Amino acid sequence: MRIAVVGTGYVGLVVGACLAETGNDVVCADVDAGKIARLNAGEIPIYEPGLEPLVERNLRDGRISFTTDVGPAVASAEIIFIAVGTPPGEDGSADLKHVLAVADTIGSNMPDDGPEKIVITKSTVPVGTAAKVRAAVARHTGRTVHVCSNPEFLKEGAAVLDFMKPDRVVVGVDSEYAREKLGELYAPFVRTGNPILFMDIASAEITKYAANAMLATRISFMNMIAGLCEAVGADVTHVRQGIGTDERIGPGFLFAGIGYGGSCFPKDVKALIHTLRDTGVDASILDGVEQVNDAQKSVLVQRVTERFGADLTGRTFGVWGLSFKPETDDMREAPSLTVVRGLVERGARVRAHDPEAGHEAERYFEDLITSGGLTLCEHNYDCLEGADALLVLTEWAPYRNPDFARVRAQLGEPVIFDGRNLWDPERMREAGFHYVSIGRQARAGSARLAATA
């Protein structure tokens, strides 16, 4: 099939490369000329495991191409994916200006004849967006266009695998033609029997938001429970095991930590709250999810000040991990943005390492680097020399089994604040560390509460 993908971000680039891998003729279009030049040179502008060889192979074999000429790309395609950004507006709602601009381009470049066209919203969009896309296209052409919703469920760090071997494909359609064509398009990816779930368009649009909001809710719920565990001297790891083995609940997304971030959960929770309020539905559950997450991002700064005092002038802290999760360089809404700035604002200097997000950190923390408050280190152990403590913010694999003797020798004080619960508290105590994690050990006042209960 001849396919156009408009937008070459995390979603569009993965979609285009994976569809090309199954033999389709794919054109990825973007107005960012610099990005397109890099892609045509085989350079991937984002870090996503497995994506670079996929793009290189299909570029070499002629199944994928990249262009800034959006009009001709959509004019020649049978199926057009809209995969541009939907950033949150000031009120939290999804900003659809880029989506609707693409719809206008599609309509104004519609040929007078040829096969019927399918336009798919792959971007995460609120319910009702497909109708707006249809209206935008129809302003320019009288030809029949099948507008569909096909939300993505790609995890950053595993996006290629998620697309190639999805646990389900959700497609919202309102015509038999679109159903048949998209069933054919996705057939190579569901050969093991995982379903293509065809449904009405509105349900498909809601499904994406509902999925991300549910996962965000589980994370905030466990962080709330972690706070309770600390207050009474319980261990959130045991609680997680106790509830996660209940088949009605399951173990996924039940890890306590310093909150969620990234390009999806924060934005999508806000957008769903806005939609709920617009339709008169109570959004208090998701209001709580946001409140817990916002507070959780500051937990490690609070722990540091409890140990070292509110004024951190003259203190230096090592930080391992800046991306919002491992296996990605994405720092959007990452807890590190709150933690690093919180430490520097209190007078501390920070030395930080991340295996992939260094270039993003240079952008997000340009002012801190310029002022000398933050130094980015080439190796993780470089952060430790003379530091008053180590903070772990991202659970990258290279951090999971470090040389603890080396860590202790390099730190000025053997203190670790682990925001991702990587290590066993008892083992860390035996190794001579003052070890603070999330929801797994009582704090000073809480121990007295547990003793008197």
Predicted confidence (pLDDT) per residue in 200-213, tens digit: 999 999 999 999 99
| Beta strands per DSSP E along 38-78 | 64-67
Taking the C-alpha atoms of residue 224 and residue 295, their distance in angstroms, rounded to an integer, is 10
Angle between helices 299-308 and 335-345 in degrees, nearest 10? 30
Q: Do domains 2-198 and 216-447 have the same CATH topology?
A: yes
Catalytic hit among 148, 229, 264, 383: 264
Residues 6+ apart with CB under 8 A from 380: 320, 353, 398, 399, 402
What percent of the residues of the chain are helix, what percent strand, and what percent coil, each to the nearest 5? Answer: 45, 15, 40
pLDDT value at residue 21: 97
| Beta strands per DSSP E along 110-253 | 117-121, 145-149, 169-172, 196-199
| Sign of the alpha-carbon dihedral angle for 268, 264, 302, 228 | positive
- Residue whose entry in the numeric block shows the structure tokens 């403590």: 389
- The closest alpha carbon to 204, from 124, 95, 116, 118, belongs to 124
Amino acid at 10: Y
Amino acid at 437: S
pLDDT value at residue 92: 86
Question: Token digits for 223?
Answer: 């962080």
- Binding site feature residues for substrate: 153-156, 208, 253-257, 261, 325
Fold designation for 216-447: Rossmann fold (3.40.50)
Contact 119, 140 (CB under 8 A): no
| One-character DSSP codes across 396-426 | -GGGSS--HHHHHHHSSS-EEEETT--S-HH
- Residue whose entry in the numeric block shows the structure tokens 């180590």: 390
| Beta strands per DSSP E along 245-388 | 316-320, 349-353, 374-376
Question: Token digits for 125?
Answer: 């969009």
- Binding site feature residues for NAD(+): 30, 35, 86, 124, 156, 267, 332
Q: What does the domain layout of the chain look like in residue ranges?
A: 2-198, 216-447
Taking the C-alpha atoms of residue 423 and residue 108, their distance in angstroms, rounded to an integer, is 57
pLDDT tens-digit profile of 209-228? 999 999 999 999 999 999 99
Exposed, middle or buried: residue 138 (CB in 10 Å: 0-12, 13-18, 19+)?
middle
Range 137-140 contact pairs with CB under 8 angstroms and sequence separation of 24 or more: 137/103, 137/104, 137/106, 137/107, 137/110, 138/107, 139/104, 139/107, 140/104, 140/107, 140/108, 140/110
Residues 6+ apart with CB under 8 A from 129: 96, 99, 121, 149, 205
pLDDT in tens, the chain (453 residues): 999 999 999 999 999 999 999 999 999 999 999 999 999 988 999 999 999 999 999 999 999 999 999 999 999 999 999 999 988 888 888 899 999 999 999 999 998 888 899 999 998 899 999 999 999 999 999 898 999 999 999 999 999 999 999 999 999 999 999 999 999 999 999 999 999 999 999 999 999 999 999 999 999 999 999 999 999 999 999 999 999 999 999 999 999 999 999 989 999 999 999 999 999 999 999 999 999 999 999 999 999 999 999 999 999 999 999 999 999 999 999 999 999 999 999 999 999 999 999 999 999 999 999 999 999 999 999 999 889 999 999 999 999 999 999 999 999 999 999 999 999 999 999 999 999 999 997 444 433 333 333
pLDDT value at residue 112: 83
C-alpha distances out from residue 164 to 65, 87, 190, Å: 20, 26, 9
Taking the C-alpha atoms of residue 264 and residue 334, their distance in angstroms, rounded to an integer, is 11
Question: Token digits for 182?
Answer: 């998209």
- Residue whose entry in the numeric block shows the structure tokens 């285009």: 16
pLDDT value at residue 210: 96
Helix (H) / strand (E) element for 2: namely: strand 2-6
Amino acid at 371: S
Please, which residues bridge with residue 27 across strands?
A: 4, 65
Taking the C-alpha atoms of residue 28 and residue 69, their distance in angstroms, rounded to an integer, is 10
- The closest alpha carbon to 45, from 82, 8, 86, 90, belongs to 8
Residues 6+ apart with CB under 8 A from 219: 253, 255, 257, 259, 260, 265, 293
Greatest pairwise CA separation for the chain in angstroms: 81
Contact 337, 364 (CB under 8 A): yes
Task: Report the SS3 class of residue 157.
Answer: coil
Active site residue 18: no
**Domain at 2-198, CATH from 3.40.50.720, 3.40.190.10, 3.40.50.1970, 3.10.310.70:** 3.40.50.720
Contact 74, 109 (CB under 8 A): yes
Taking the C-alpha atoms of residue 116 and residue 137, their distance in angstroms, rounded to an integer, is 14
